Structure formats: C-alpha cells, structure tokens
Structure 1
C-alpha cells in the first residue's frame, strides 16, 4: 500500500526515514510524488549547433595522451585532445587527476561541461568512458535539505519506483486520457523520476500539469458551488424604480462596462444564492459608484450594507463621498479604530438597532462587538492580496451576507481563474469619458534637475506632486536612492515656500494618516514616500508622480502608483527616473510610456515578472503546484477549468464510478472539508 511508512521501502532505515521526514516525506506515496524541480539534460548535439558558454555534452575520440599538471595546493589540470566531427577540440578537467587512468588514447569518451566556442574548448565537470547510449541521459535534480543528500534520495527513489510505481492508481477519466493523449499515471510517475528520453519526460510532465490544474479547478468549482448554495432564500426584493431613479440622478452617465458590472451585481442580489463576486477595474474606472448603487439597492430591500477598506483615511474619504451621494435619505456612518469610548458605544447601538443603513470602516467592522440588525451586503475594497482562506473571515463571524470584493489591481485572466476560482468575476475595463490620460515619460537620472524644475512649475500653478522611492534606508545590496536621503536633498533644492512631507513604512499608522491628511488638504506640496502610498487616497490636486529607480518596480506597481495622479481636471504627468541596465527593465519603461491600459500592462507584467508581483509572495492565495506553472501553462489551465465546470455541473464527479478516487482526493482537501462540507 502506498500509504504505508516510507521505511517499508528496501534500503530505508530509521535514520533515512527521519531525514526524509525533514523534507516532508512520510509515506511511500509522498516519496513517489516528490518530483525533481529541474532536470540536467545531457543531450549530444553536433558541434555546429552548440552556442558559446552553454552547457554541452560531447562525444569524442581521444587523440592525445592526457596531460596532467599540478598548481597551488592540491589543485590539478588534466588536458586531452578529442576529435569530434572531424575537428580537434581541447577538453580540460580541473581537480580530477583520477580521470587520467580512465582516458585511453584511441577510445571514445563522453564529456559534459561549459563550451567555449572561440577556443574550441570544453571545461569538463562530468565524463564517462565510451559513447552515449541513447539521445542523452536526463538526470532529475531534487530539492534536498538537512542531512539528506541528492545521491541518497536518488537511491531511495530507485527502490521506490522499481517496487511501487505500478501500484499508482489512475485518477483521470479515460475520456481525458484519450482526448489529450496523456500517459497513464503509474507510467508518468516512473518517467518523472527516471526519463529514458526527453519526449517521454515531456509527456509525463504534460500529464501531471493537467492533473494538478484539474484537481485545483475541481476544488475551486466545488467551493464556489457550495458557497453559493450555502444560503438559500436570501434574495433581496429591492426597489427597481428607486434604484433606476438614483442612477439617472448621478452627475454623469455610467460607461457600458460599469452598466454590465452593475447588472451582474444586481442579479446576484436578487438571486436566492449568496453573492461571492470580485469586481476588478483600473484606477479611476468607476468601481466605487457601481458599488454605491449596489449598496443603495440593498438598503431599498430593507438590508444594511458595509464597506470595508484597509486604511482609516481611505475609509474617511469613502464616508464623505457616500454621505454626499446619498444626502439625507440614506444614513451612512463611519466606524474605524479612532472611534472610541461613548461615541463608539452609541454608534454600535444604532447599528445593532438598524438605525444605520450603511457603515463605512476598516477591519474594525468585523470585530466581535460589532452586531448588525440585518447585514445584507458587504463590500471589501482594495484587498487585492487576499486568498481563499482570507475570504472566509466574514463567514466565520456567523454573517452570511452577499459579498463583493473590489480591487484596483487589474489581474490577468489566468491569475483571476486560479487565485479567484471560487469567485464570480466582473471587470470594468473602460474609463469614464472626459478623463485625461496621465502622460508618462522616462528620464535618466542625469535629468534630475530638469524634473525638479518641472515640479516647481506645477507647484507654482497650485498643484502637488508625489516622489516615490523603493527603500526606506541604505542597503548594501541595492544601490537605491532612499526616501529619507531624497527628502533631505529636496529640502536643500526647493525654496522654503515649497512644503515637503515624508512618509514610509516605519512610521506609525497614526503618523502615516496625519501625513496623508495634510497632503490631501493641500498643506504639503511635495510628498516624498515609499510605496506605502500605493493603495492611497484621492488627491485630485496632485498632478505629478515621480518614481525613483522605476526599473526596480513591476509594471502593475508602476501603474498603481501612476493612478494616484490624474484624478482632477488638470493634465497630470508620471515621470519614471531610471537607468536600467538589463533588457527587461528597459522593456518595462517602454511599455509604461506606450499604454495606460492596466489590463494590457498586467498581461505584460505577468510575462516579465511572474505571478508573485500581483499578490505578494507570502499571502498570495495562489496554489503551489509541483509541476504546473499558471503563467506558462495557461492553455492547460483553461482546459482544466472547462473540464472541472463540466464534471461539477453535470454531477459526473459524484455519479461515475471511475471518478471515485478523484472525488476522494478532492473531498479530503482541508479547504473543502473544514470550510463547507456539511
């Protein structure tokens, strides 16, 4: 049985078992599915196909006696001439004096190492007497730590694969194996560890990429289905006429993208199933007004609404804008950590008695002492770094309202499918008419004085500016201008009438709020800040965004920062101060100047930097796959999602006997087991 202890495998004793446990291997199955994270390919190519400095494997006839010389302490150099494809090349082996007796003139050897195209020389790190037997030996490289070594792990894997690979049972439907030409699971396990050639390895990888993505998508679809069905009969009978009147009295018409998103949200509110939706739209695309109409619809249905945002100052801005929007006919209140004592007690009482229609606040909204009379709709804003687990918070509080998550980070379709597979997704991908796009320029650091002059001109017009730096203090590793130094430099550069502010992550949250309030109220002309300003407040008077060392940022982050300006009537500007040395950095600067479309940028960023940039490495909510890569394997991801939807919707997963093992794997997943299974 594959669930038996790993010590049941021949050659694995107590010590080896403990060392395997240190890398997370407890059972035979754990060992079999502990795949290499990369492979060393020793494929023999003709000399003409080799490129300079690449790792190459060459088969040649020894045409000279090996020459061995010593230098330094215990250091040696062994040199031999080989004939390859009619050309004489030199093979050099450092500190491998023992090899001399294995290299015989007139016989063939196979060597692997770094190829020097100019000197026709290979620096050898591996060699073998004789010719290569197949199209190249492929060796798996495993992740090891502690006392475990690569050789010990490979030896254990040989025994495991030999004895138990055939016991690995198939979990995919025959239909998919045939349709996608996928090899059997047991055969794929064997070839993942010890591939006879690159073709069989490619097919084994393809099989496990699809399997991993299908399993994940099945969990997501099942989670989504059960969340939707977890509350039945909670549809809201809102007043259509009042909602339409409210919409028509807005000072501007909605864009077609806003209309589409609003229709989806209102349909969710009227549905008997609970809303679990993500609304994503670029900075300034008008998500807040769509959310406000949704909140108003819930209020006309006799329900309360809540809008949760990450910072107090953002909560205050939303509170002020919603209060103006709803005037006196909807009661809006603000609840943050700053609301204390008697004022807080009175506010909580009014909320519990249903005398408040909409509460705007920070995470203070979901503290234990906050009780709603009838909470029907919750909106969580700017939470683009939350995963499936984080989205359970409201449900664990015993509240079962409709939930809408909003993010201003345009997320590529592939990531939205993966990270937010349990959510319905609405997209606002169109900007309101009349909004002037932010003009973006890339300047080298030697143009710093001209950039300062430009900021001075804008300040003289009564406008404000941001200057963003990547780090707070000096780092030996990164040559980055820091916020503190820049602040001091600007104090000397600008005349005393230009008021400067400084903000960074080391400040207490109250201090950060104070600086941002002063900037929002026009008491600071130029705000020097680290990226803590990224998810920020609305300062329509700010027209310039200067980003220091812009090549250190990803496209999505640059775009988020650029979105802090261009919120008023005046033309706004984003200046990227950077001198990138690599092609990727230069490419980012070029793309930023050419497009202001956040969704297009997000797709480009995904190609350049990978998924970590969107969510942060630790709290990404993204699954960790052994073989699959959601960026590279996006086609397989789309296919797996389509198949998962079909298996859940048609109930095949629960009815077909051949899917019993697949079903068992999914239902044993803690995410489904703990959260939803009744």
Structure 2
C-alpha cells in the first residue's frame, strides 16, 4: 500500500486524539508526516561573538562575572541582568520573566547562553541557559510549526517512529540516473537527514537533494504545460501583410528603440507561428510597452481578427484607450473602451458592435470577462500588469476566442530567477532600454526633520507651473503604526499650499471618485495630489515633476520604483524625495539603493535579495510557487539545472517509456500534469 493511503494512526504512538491534532496541521497520512519538514534549524554550536551579527541568534559560553540584579515590574513581570565574560567580551545577559534563574547563578560559574545579540549595547537577551561545561558537539535543533497540545518533541517522536516502520517504503521520484549524475541522496536518507541532521554537512546534502526534486517537479509541470500549449494550438498562425505593419511602425511619431524593435520582432514572429503565443513582455516604467502593444494589435487586426487589452484599473484603461486610439484610429481601426462605468445604451452598442466584428480593439478592466462580452473573432489577448489578475480571470478572457495569442505585459521588472519560476511556461521578452532624451529622475533621501526644506522644494516646482505627488503608506491614522497617513497629510498640505488645489486619493473612494480626482490632476485643475499607493499604476501626467514619499522605508524597492515612475514623463527634469527615518539596516539599504540606481532590473534583483520571493509581488495571486525547501533567490543555479532537465525530459522519450522514470511519471499523472485543463 502507498504511504499516501496509510493513516497516521498506523504510526506507533499516534492515537485518535493525536491524529486529530495532526489532521489540523494538514497531516493525514504517513506520507504527510514524513514530509512535514522543519521551517528552520536552530544552531546551538558555540559562536565567537566577533562573528555574530547585530540581532542574530547565537549560543555562547562564558563565566558569570558579577552578582545578578533582579527588577520587578507590574503584572509579575521581571528583568534579570548579569555580567558574563565571553572570550574577550564582557557582556550583559538579560533574562525577561525568568526570575528563578537568579538563585542558580554564582560568580565564576560556567554558563552556556542562547539568545538574541545586540552588538551596540553588548547585550544578549537570553531565552535558554545551561549550567556547567557543555559537550562541544555540533548541535542542530529542527523547529516545526505545531498546534494545540502537540509539542515539537512529540511530533519528532512520531516522525522517528514513522521512519522506523515505513522509511524504506518511500518512493523515490528522482530516477537513479539523475541521482548519480548530481550525486544526490536517495529520498529516504535525504528526508531522514532533514528531520534528524547529525551535522550541517548532512543537512546540506539532504537539502540539496530536496531542493532539486522540488524544482524539477515544478519545472516539469511548467514545461509540460508549454508543450501541451504548443501542440494544441497548431495551425493557428495569423496572416498579415508585413509591409503594412512596417508602414504602421514608420507612421509612429517617434522611432522605435533597438529594444522595442527586438521585442516587436519576437512578438510578430509568434503571431505568424503555428503555435499559440504565450509571452511575457517586461519593460521598466516609461520604456514604451504600449507602443509595442499597439503594433501587435495592429498586426492582429490586419490578419482579420480582433484584439483585447485588459488592465487592472479604470484609470489605466482610460489612459491606454487614449494613447492606443490616437495611434490606431488614424489607420482606420475601431477602438472601444469598456469598464464598469460604461452603462446603458452606450454599453449595449459596444457589445453589439463587438459581436458583429465592427470593433477591432477592445480595451477595458475585468469588465471584459463578463459573460455578455462576446467577440466575433478574438485573435490577440494582452493583459497589462498581469500579476494583479488571478489565473481564472486571465483564462476566462483567453477562452473568449479560439486559442488566441496571449501577451502579458508588466512594468514590474522581474529578475531572471523569478521569471523562470513564476513564468516558466512562457517566453520572455525584455525592453531593457529607455527612449532617447528621457531624463533620469533625481532621487534624494531626506529625514523627517528636513520636511520644511522638502516642502520648499515642492513650492518652487508648483510656482513654475508644475505638479507634484505626495504618497503616504496609510489612509488614516492608526494606533498600531506611527506613520504618516493620507487624510492628515492632505489637511496639513491644504494649509501649507493655500494658493494651490490639493487633491486626495485613496482606495476607499469609489471608482467614479478616483476617476474624478485623477482627471482633475491630469488636467492641472489640481496641482498637488496626496495619495496612497493607488497611483502606483495610474494615469500619465507629463506635467508632474515631483514625487514625495512619506515613510519610504515601509515600501519595497520595486514599489518605490513604480511610484517614482509616475513622474519624469515630460521634458522637464523630475525629482523623487524619499522621506524616511529608517532605523533598520534593511530600510537604510533600500533608501541608499534607490538614490544610487534608476535601473528597474537592478532594483528588482536587490528587492528579491532583501525581501525574498514571497513578498516580491505583494499579493498571493501572483502565481508564485509555494516551495517547502527551495528558495528561488539562493537556489537559482539548481533552478536553471532543473529547468534544462525538465525541458529535455518533456521533449524526449525517457520520461514516457523508461521504467526507471515510472515513479516520476506516475506522480505527474496524479497531479494532472498531462491534463491541460487541470494544469491551468
């Protein structure tokens, strides 16, 4: 019987009540139990304090140097302090709410302390203490997430019992040929060492094996999806007159950059190929993705099909509509806008003309995926800022045509490692060059006490007829966070800039209210706009030259870069001022990087390294895989290897016919990998 089919109650020591607690943790079978991995490992090996970083957890050995001092606080809270000589350092060890330790300490006594190290105060906040000389062995403690009355020690005992009874029954999905090629441990050995590592060397080899398996399985799914996608869409190539497309490109008011030309050629080649395009177009803010989209839409219409562009907000939909209509309508194309604000007779008219094929290009929000929206012959679907839409939303739009070509666009530059993992089933095009004559936005970091100087700078720009954005992290005051909020800042700035109109924008406004605020700002009826990050993806205002961001350390690098990209769209020099009293090393580092580079791809890589992949997109709809062991930032070399192996296996014969690949093939079948409906 497979381990997936054996209940946890088949493990020695697990009764019905414990099985219930395990079930609440998602552990139902023996297989689940063996694969329930620690989320971190505590290192109890002794450290030299000179090598321990600020706020890092460490275990040190020393001798008690002074009499302990004990202070009591209300509600029975206490603080015990004692001086300890650790190597050449005389440190203060602090014990919170551990008053009983006082009677166990005596001058000259050897103690082993574990806790968080404050390098500035030379203080160790202790959460674990051992008395006397301890054995010097490497000590690694796996830490698990547990619930209810189930403790870590009990969980580990259950896992050990499961290994004793069933460890040899584990199915190894990675075939021997691949294990030998990369000198990987068999699955039972690797899993055992993940739970019970004897040394960091053992743990390293176990983790290496688990990371490769995780990334290989994920990449196999991606590559299979890519293969099925291509096989299913054979013979759907669009036929358009290339000279007409070239003539359209020549008619544009400005020449394409070499990067725009390169990605345009890649997209046009996809449109004419015999498989469905599934391409991601990455380009920094202002790099000219809209022009490339216009060329692709023109080619699709020239091939007697319709095009659709779906964007996340009404403001952005209007902006795209205005710019695309100005480019496409002069060539005789019919372009329409459909959002939830379009109602009544006007809406009916658009839907009727769309179904009859009279509308060539439809631009809109998720209103495009409503059931009543019917295309006559949809040939190209473009989704902008695609990570803001869920998989199902993108799929519904795609299904409004017969295997239409799909182009995803994003102004969030995505590092190669993340692009491979999240968009591994896509081809990726990158616009890595800015249009000629575009000035670099000058970026400065200011502290809160310099606010008067910052506002004086804003005043100068406004007096010259320019406009400015002021961004706040919150809508209104919070008792939990000491940060500036949009409502208070708006009131303050109305008082400060009395001769100018100060607008307010945030997520609680209705779509119509947001639209009205942005329209006022776009037409210069409002000169200063106080907003939350809802303007991160917003309307194009070339006259705006100032971007001021309060409490800038609260934003990730990619988000700061997106906000900065709201200015610098006209011919005048633009500025971005980051107001931050960042105390953490991470916050200071982000401010420094922002002032030193304007390259979105450099920033995105730094953001990924600082914040990790989970926070990169800022939402769970991104499609980012939830790896148990692998980390796409640090394991990017393994990711590349797994991707190449997966491509070779999917397009070769071993996976399908070699008996040693049977466990891997079975797993993929169970996961629905060979069924495109389930895989999507």
TM-score normalised by structure 1 residue count? 0.90
SS of the aligned residue for 1:416 comes to helix
Structure 2 partner of 1:306: 308
Contiguous gaps of at least 5 residues in structure 2: none
Structure 1 partner of 2:3: 2
What is the deviation of 1:58? Answer: 6.6
Structure 1 partner of 2:379: 376
| Contact kept? 2:387, 2:623, Cα under 8 Å | no
Q: Distance in 1 between matches of 2:353 and 2:71?
A: 86
1:130-169 equivalences under 5 Å are 132=135, 135-169=137-171
SS of the aligned residue for 2:548 comes to strand
SS of the aligned residue for 2:286 comes to coil
Is the counterpart of residue 456 in structure 1 residue 465 in structure 2? Answer: no
Q: Distance in 2 between matches of 1:370 and 1:122?
A: 62
Q: Assess, with a 3 A threshold, how the Cα gap between structure 1 residues 428 and 194 changes in structure 2: closer, same or farther.
A: same
Structure 1 partner of 2:211: 209
SS of the aligned residue for 2:197 comes to coil
Q: Distance in 2 between matches of 1:82 and 1:356?
A: 79
2:668 maps to which of 666, 669, 677: 666
SS of the aligned residue for 2:616 comes to helix
SS of the aligned residue for 1:377 comes to strand
Is the counterpart of residue 635 in structure 1 residue 637 in structure 2? Answer: yes
Q: Assess, with a 3 A threshold, how the Cα gap between structure 1 residues 387 and 211 changes in structure 2: closer, same or farther.
A: farther
Is the counterpart of residue 401 in structure 1 residue 426 in structure 2? Answer: no
1:183-198 equivalences under 5 Å are 183-198=185-200
Structure 1 partner of 2:224: 222
Q: Assess, with a 3 A threshold, how the Cα gap between structure 1 residues 42 and 314 changes in structure 2: closer, same or farther.
A: closer
Deviation per residue, 1:309-358 (Å, 9 max, x gap): 12223222222222221215111122222222222222211111111111
Structure 2 partner of 1:441: 444
Q: Assess, with a 3 A threshold, how the Cα gap between structure 1 residues 468 and 50 changes in structure 2: closer, same or farther.
A: closer
| Contact kept? 1:77, 1:97, Cα under 8 Å | no
Structure 1 partner of 2:239: 237
SS of the aligned residue for 2:322 comes to helix
Is the counterpart of residue 113 in structure 1 residue 114 in structure 2? Answer: yes
SS of the aligned residue for 1:164 comes to helix
| Contact kept? 1:76, 1:95, Cα under 8 Å | yes
1:474 maps to which of 445, 460, 477: 477
Q: Distance in 1 between matches of 2:91 and 2:385?
A: 61
Is the counterpart of residue 367 in structure 1 residue 370 in structure 2? Answer: yes
SS of the aligned residue for 2:388 comes to coil
RMSD over aligned Cα atoms: 3.6
| Contact kept? 2:382, 2:406, Cα under 8 Å | yes
Is the counterpart of residue 420 in structure 1 residue 429 in structure 2? Answer: no
Is the counterpart of residue 430 in structure 1 residue 433 in structure 2? Answer: yes
| Contact kept? 2:64, 2:111, Cα under 8 Å | no
Structure 2 partner of 1:29: 31
Deviates more, 1:629-638 or 1:275-284: 629-638
Q: Assess, with a 3 A threshold, how the Cα gap between structure 1 residues 347 and 176 changes in structure 2: closer, same or farther.
A: same
Structure 2 partner of 1:345: 348
TM-score normalised by structure 2 residue count? 0.90
SS of the aligned residue for 2:194 comes to helix
Deviates more, 1:228-237 or 1:407-416: 228-237
Deviation per residue, 1:113-166 (Å, 9 max, x gap): 34999999996835488853x732322111112332222212211211222222
1:503 maps to which of 486, 505, 513: 505
Is the counterpart of residue 15 in structure 1 residue 21 in structure 2? Answer: no
How many pairs does the alignment contain? 670
Structure 1 partner of 2:294: 292
| Contact kept? 1:384, 1:406, Cα under 8 Å | no
SS of the aligned residue for 1:619 comes to helix
| Contact kept? 1:82, 1:88, Cα under 8 Å | yes
Deviation per residue, 1:493-517 (Å, 9 max, x gap): 1133x11110011111111111011
Deviation per residue, 1:27-59 (Å, 9 max, x gap): 000000001111122324679978898755578
Q: Distance in 2 between matches of 1:570 and 1:41?
A: 55
| Contact kept? 2:543, 2:570, Cα under 8 Å | yes
Q: Distance in 2 between matches of 1:203 and 1:173?
A: 17
Structure 2 partner of 1:330: 333
